[in-house]
């Protein structure tokens, strides 16, 4: 037989595009359209419905950037259409290639009842099936003219990312606004041919099945009268019946399809627009659930559910009904799909506390899985947090984006720093926006790495990022793929159903230990520095507010501000979303974030001050409140007292320029360039700075990644570096106890203040940068005389080791990594820590010196970037950072100094010292939270962990009468399988394994 394959395939493409698809709507009449443009921000539905509308013609431009327009669409169904299915086709000016990234709409009835959302892949509204003819049509569309930020040529700087700079030029042209007859037989034929054509393209050319499909498709096209498709569509479908009925092989890969719409809580749109995106998507998905009996939809992010409840009660009623039917499924159990690298210990815990509690309170549903398809890598402390929240499973897809190494598993156990293991699945479909195309389904089956041991995977199905969700076409394709020879099988299932079957099928999967590092988007650890600083500061202010308010509530009846703290926590958690905290959102998002963090700080400082004044009482005794988990300067952790007086460290001149700082513990030399050329630990005589090296060295790199400007830093940035060694000024600081260094470069200026704390091995470096560079990367370098094959960086509830070498491609790919408050390196018996108050990104490299064969290990802190997309003014302006170099530091010192720099002491006068509400005797045990129980019982909740990576015994002493002590999960519920803590009166003793996290609930004796 002659090979006419390409001929038939080309024929299929043209006939589908030019004849069959257009015949889905064979007859149409125009609708009448009027519009009212809201003058500012979106208005309530009732106001939009009642507003006066002016006629607008199809083809007219509409919609200023970020505007809202209310369209009134009216018409009458022709009498001649009686008995047929009729739909309204409402095209606001969509580009079908950009679902979720442009204009959208929510259709209402005149009484305000939501009907469904409109987006580029969902432009229809069912009027009747069948209609009687003569029906009056009256629809109202709340249309958002969100501008396209990332166009076909992506990453081009644009002012459209902020309403303040976007202008008023209309963004869209009103397109089709018609009533049309919907020919379901033709629509079904389209899907038959699409499914078979897509499957055929994935089969080997030598496969008999491919040729069988080809001949069936050819016969079907032969049966179509191209001048009268509707009349011949049924006959064409009959010729495909047999080939569509061939069942899948018993060994076929099994795909659990989960309806999904990954909606970024903010990204290329502001938070307020996400509120509406979620409502549109939820309206669409509840409508699809009503139409499709097998369809199941899962939505994560409790915050988004809360937005629907608060802002769209009519949609919320439909959602609640669908949840009760088991078809609209809460997923993930987190407040938002957060970044997991940068949130601190308590914040990561509270993501699950607030997320799971919302679903429990609203629906009585507890999620068993964490659902994070798009998060940019996963910290090694996360498995323990997931388990402590009562969950056991994790789903993500993003690791498939890694550019250097291919992750070896799709289903596996992920082991965290404390030994906790979580059953984890990466969908091999490699997208969280699966549309049921044959290429996607075939890729999932081919790509699945557990073949022979397991045979099922999950496919999140629906348009996401900007929302939209699953379409009826996706559902129809899935029905044809339930069992089709040559294809993987597809069935709609909930996440819980998938995970249960996957674990039963694969009870002993391989284990991956440590972080799940994404080999991409590394610059998200640095971009938008003020957003990151706001997050870090908010986390520590919340710790202080809870600690002092709880202490004051137990001591003297201070009103514990539980509602305020709950609200603030949720705001902070929202801003940890994986495009806000990472700095990858538009300018509007980060402008609002900065203002939000300022409001949060003011409110929390007010709570802290009120609680501390309540505790201190009246008097003139100078008091220092210490919110850190370690005693310092004679003041106990969690208490207040009068610290011992300390002498200031006065700089002395250095003979060849510069200054010397000496406090009896450390001797630091700062040369005439303002660089630290020596930092000697006087207890051991050990020099910290590598021979010939200089610390406190600012380094500037060009920084134009190949794509994803705010997200990425590519390895080639290191090829070019400028050391900023010229100083405009080096002098004794205004306080007389520090050294001030001023530098200028480009259009920017840096002022640094270096000081030694009295009696402490801690060189403090305060840096102020007035930053006005573009596409540059600023680092702060510390070349250390330390031979170390690995280093520790803090993560949630512990620390994680990374290699300093690049033996393999896996190690080489980690050229930019995350830490929280510290990085620590050590040789046996001696180490160094670099601590910070607000930075996350860093790199660590090692070289061997030719002169003495010693090893120089250089720690570089990432300070600032200047990408131009999606915010063309990223990080322009004044920034302040605090870092400290700690010579001779153990890992315990690194932990303590990290807390110290992030929790500055607070001073006020009062009548007496304040004893800690709870105290832990063992220094390795770090208390991360002291608070009152969320249920309002008045119980005291204490959360703590072993911080050094070793086993330890801990004794917790309460400064109140304890009636009972119970170990709980993060939601403060008793752990059924946990032994009761040993208690003697108000003293509770426990043994902790390395990095073990414990939550204790202490019932107060009445």
Catalytic residue ranges: 374
CA distance 100 to 120: 8
CA distance 580 to 870: 12
Contact between 796 and 385 (Cβ < 8 Å):
yes
Contact between 593 and 599 (Cβ < 8 Å):
no
CA distance 143 to 801: 50
Instruction: Give the SS3 label for residue 701.
Output: strand
Which residue carries 């034929």 as its tokens? 189
CA distance 243 to 183: 23
SS (H, E, C) 609-668: HHHHHHHHCCCCEEEEEECCCCCECCECCCEEECCCCCCCCCCEECCCCCEEEECCCEEE
Contact between 81 and 180 (Cβ < 8 Å):
no
List all residues 6 or more positions away from 498 whose beta carbon is below 8 Å from its beta carbon.
256, 258, 425, 456, 458
Q: Cα dist. 174→55, 486, 554 in Å? A: 12, 43, 63
Contact between 118 and 92 (Cβ < 8 Å):
yes
Cα 874 to chain centroid distance, Å, stands at: 19
Beta-bridge partner residues of 300: none
Beta-bridge partner residues of 641: 624
Contact between 726 and 750 (Cβ < 8 Å):
no
Instruction: Give the SS3 label for residue 432.
Output: coil
Return contacts of 16-19, CB within 8 angstroms, 24+ apart: 16/190, 16/193, 16/194, 16/197, 19/224, 19/226, 19/229
Contact between 734 and 711 (Cβ < 8 Å):
no
One DSSP character per residue, 585-613 reads S-HHHHHHHHHHHHHHHHHHHHHHHHHHH
CA distance 441 to 880: 50
Instruction: Give the SS3 label for residue 197.
Output: helix
CA distance 592 to 634: 41
Beta-bridge partner residues of 702: 776
Return the ∠ at Cα 980 (arms to 976 and 986), rounded to 5°: 140
- Half-sphere exposure at residue 324, Cβ-oriented, CA atoms within 13 angstroms: 7
Which residue, among 153, 140, 167, has the nearest Cα to 67 in the 3D structure?
A: 167
List all residues 6 or more positions away from 830 whose beta carbon is below 8 Å from its beta carbon.
681, 684, 686, 888
CA distance 432 to 459: 7
CA distance 712 to 218: 48
Return contacts of 740-749, CB within 8 angstroms, 24+ apart: 741/670, 741/674, 741/696, 743/674, 743/698, 745/700, 746/700, 746/772, 746/773, 746/776, 747/772, 747/773, 748/772, 748/773
List all residues 6 or more positions away from 86 whose beta carbon is below 8 Å from its beta carbon.
77, 126, 127, 128, 129, 131, 179, 180, 181, 182
587-616 helix and 529-556 helix, angle to the nearest 10 degrees? 20
């Amino acid at each position: 037989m002659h090979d006419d394959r390409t001929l038939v395939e080309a024929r299929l493409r043209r006939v589908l595009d030019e004849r069959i698809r257009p015949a889905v709507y064979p007859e149409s009449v125009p609708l009448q359209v009027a519009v009212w443009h809201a003058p500012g921000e979106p208005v309530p539905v009732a106001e939009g419905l009642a507003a006066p509308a002016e006629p607008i013609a199809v083809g007219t431009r509409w919609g200023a950037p970020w505007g809202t327009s209310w369209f009134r669409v009216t018409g009458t169904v022709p009498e001649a259409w009686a008995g047929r299915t009729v739909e309204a086709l409402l095209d606001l000016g969509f580009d079908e290639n950009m679902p979720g990234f442009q204009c959208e709409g929510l259709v209402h009835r005149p009484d305000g009842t939501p009907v469904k959302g409109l987006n580029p892949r969902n432009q229809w509204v069912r009027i009747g099936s069948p209609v009687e003819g003569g029906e009056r049509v009256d629809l109202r569309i709340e249309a958002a003219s969100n501008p396209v930020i990332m166009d076909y040529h992506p990453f081009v700087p644009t002012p459209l990312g902020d309403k303040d700079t976007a202008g008023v030029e209309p963004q869209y042209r009103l397109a089709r606004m018609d009533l049309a007859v919907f020919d379901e037989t033709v629509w079904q034929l389209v899907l038959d041919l699409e499914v078979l054509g897509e499957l055929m393209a994935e089969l080997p050319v030598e496969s008999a099945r491919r040729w069988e499909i080809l001949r069936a498709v050819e016969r079907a096209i032969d049966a179509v009268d191209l001048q009268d498709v509707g009349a011949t569509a049924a006959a064409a479908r009959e010729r495909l019946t047999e080939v569509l009925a061939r069942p899948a092989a018993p060994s076929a890969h099994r795909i659990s399809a989960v309806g999904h719409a990954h909606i970024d809580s903010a990204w290329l749109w502001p938070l307020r627009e996400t509120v509406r995106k979620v409502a549109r998507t939820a309206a669409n998905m509840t409508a699809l659930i009503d139409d499709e009996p097998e369809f199941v939809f899962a939505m994560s992010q409790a915050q988004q559910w809360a937005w629907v409840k608060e802002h769209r009660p009519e949609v919320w009623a439909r959602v609640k009904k669908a949840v009760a039917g088991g078809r609209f499924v809460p997923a993930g159990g987190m407040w938002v799909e957060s970044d997991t690298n940068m949130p601190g210990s308590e914040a990561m815990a509270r993501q699950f506390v607030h997320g799971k509690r919302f679903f429990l309170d609203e629906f009585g549903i507890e999620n068993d899985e964490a659902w994070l398809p798009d998060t940019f890598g996963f910290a090694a402390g996360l498995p323990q947090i997931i388990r402590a929240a009562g969950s056991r499973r994790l789903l993500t897809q993003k690791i498939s984006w890694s550019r250097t190494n291919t992750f070896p598993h799709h289903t596996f156990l992920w082991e965290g720093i404390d030994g906790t293991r979580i059953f984890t699945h990466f969908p091999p479909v490699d997208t969280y926006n699966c549309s049921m195309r044959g290429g996607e389904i075939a890729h999932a089956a081919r790509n699945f790495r557990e073949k022979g041991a397991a045979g099922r995977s999950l496919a999140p199905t629906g348009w996401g990022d900007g929302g939209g969700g699953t379409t009826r076409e996706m559902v129809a394709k899935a029905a044809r793929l339930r069992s089709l020879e040559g294809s993987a099988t597809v069935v709609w299932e909930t996440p819980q159903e998938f995970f249960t079957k996957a674990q039963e099928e694969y009870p002993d999967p391989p284990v991956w230990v440590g972080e799940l590092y994404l080999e991409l988007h590394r610059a998200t650890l640095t971009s938008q520095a003020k957003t990151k600083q706001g997050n870090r500061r908010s986390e520590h202010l919340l710790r202080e507010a809870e600690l002092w308010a709880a202490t004051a509530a137990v001591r003297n009846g201070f009103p514990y501000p539980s509602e305020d703290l709950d609200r603030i926590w949720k705001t902070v958690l929202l801003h940890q979303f994986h495009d806000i905290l990472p700095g990858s959102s538009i300018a509007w998002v980060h402008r609002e974030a900065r203002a939000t963090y300022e409001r949060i700080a003011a409110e929390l400082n007010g709570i802290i001050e009120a609680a501390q004044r309540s505790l201190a009482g009246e008097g003139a005794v100078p008091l220092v409140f210490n919110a850190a988990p370690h005693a310092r300067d004679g003041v106990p952790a969690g208490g207040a007292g009068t610290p011992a007086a300390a002498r200031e460290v006065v700089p002395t001149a250095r003979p060849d320029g510069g200054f010397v700082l000496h406090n009896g513990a450390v001797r630091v030399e700062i040369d005439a360039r303002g660089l630290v050329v020596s930092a000697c630990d006087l207890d051991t005589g050990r020099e910290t700075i590598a021979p010939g090296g200089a610390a406190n060295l600012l380094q500037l790199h060009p920084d134009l990644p190949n794509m994803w400007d705010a997200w990425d830093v590519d390895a080639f940035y290191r090829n070019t570096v400028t050391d900023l060694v010229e100083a405009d000024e080096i002098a004794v600081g205004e306080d007389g106890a520090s050294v001030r260094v001023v530098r200028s470069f480009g259009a920017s200026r840096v002022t640094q203040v270096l000081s030694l704390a009295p009696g402490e091995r801690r060189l403090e470096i305060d840096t102020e940068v007035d930053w006005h560079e573009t596409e540059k990367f600023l680092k702060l370098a510390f070349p250390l005389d330390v031979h170390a094959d690995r280093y520790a960086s803090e993560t949630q509830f512990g620390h994680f080791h990374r290699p300093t070498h690049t033996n393999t491609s896996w190690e080489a790919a980690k050229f930019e990594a995350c830490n929280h408050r510290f990085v620590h390196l050590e040789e046996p018996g001696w180490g160094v820590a670099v601590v910070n108050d607000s930075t996350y990104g860093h790199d660590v490299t090692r070289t061997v010196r030719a002169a003495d064969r010693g090893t120089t290990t250089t720690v570089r802190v990432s300070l600032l970037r200047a990408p131009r997309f999606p915010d063309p003014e990223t990080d322009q302006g004044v920034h302040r950072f605090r870092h400290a170099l700690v010579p001779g530091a153990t890992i315990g010192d690194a932990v303590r100094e990290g807390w110290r720099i992030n929790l500055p002491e607070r001073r006020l006068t009062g009548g007496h010292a304040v004893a800690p509400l709870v105290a832990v005797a063992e220094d390795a045990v770090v208390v991360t939270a002291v608070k009152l129980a969320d249920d309002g019982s008045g119980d005291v909740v204490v959360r703590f962990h072993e911080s050094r990576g070793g086993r330890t015994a801990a004794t917790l002493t309460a400064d109140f009468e304890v009636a009972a002590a119970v170990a709980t999960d993060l939601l403060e519920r008793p752990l059924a399988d946990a032994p009761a803590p040993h208690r003697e009166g108000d003293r509770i003793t426990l043994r902790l394994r390395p990095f073990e996290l414990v939550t204790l609930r202490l019932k107060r004796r009445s």
